[in-house]
Chains A and B, each alone.
Chain A
Amino acid sequence: DSGVTQTPKHLITATGQRVTLRCSPRSGDLSVYWYQQSLDQGLQFLIQYYNGEERAKGNILERFSAQQFPDLHSELNLSSLELGDSALYFCASSASGGPSYEQYFGPGTRLTVT
Chain B
Amino acid sequence: AQKITQTQPGMFVQEKEAVTLDCTYDTSDPSYGLFWYKQPSSGEMIFLIYQGSYDQQNATEGRYSLNFQKARKSANLVISASQLGDSAMYFCAMREGGGSNYKLTFGKGTLLTVNP
Contacts and interface: CB of A to CB of B under 8 A. Distances in A.
Contact of A108 (B35, B44, B108): B44
B interface residue count range (under 10 / 10 to 19 / 20 to 34 / 35 or more): 20 to 34
A43 B95 CA distance: 14
Interface residues of A, number: 29
A107 B39 CA distance: 10
A42 B44 contact: no
Interface in B40-71: 43-47, 50, 52
Given A42-B109, A100-B50, A101-B95, A110 B101 contact: no
A64 interface: no
Interface in B88-116: 91, 93, 95, 100-109
A56 B50 contact: no
Among B95, B100, B103: residue with most chain A CB under 10 A:
B103
Contacts, number: 63
Interface string B11-22: 000000000000
Given A42-B109, A43-B91, A101-B33, A48 B50 contact: no
Interface in A70-114: 88, 90, 92, 94, 96, 99-108, 110
Contact of A50 (B47, B100, B105): B100
**Chain A contact residues: over half helix, strand or loop, or mixed?**
strand
Given A42-B106, A42-B108, A100-B33, A55 B101 contact: yes
A24 interface: no
Given A42-B108, A100-B52, A48 B102 contact: yes
A35 B43 CA distance: 13
A29 to B, nearest CB: 11
Contact of A31 (B35, B100, B105, B107): B100
B5 to A, nearest CB: 12
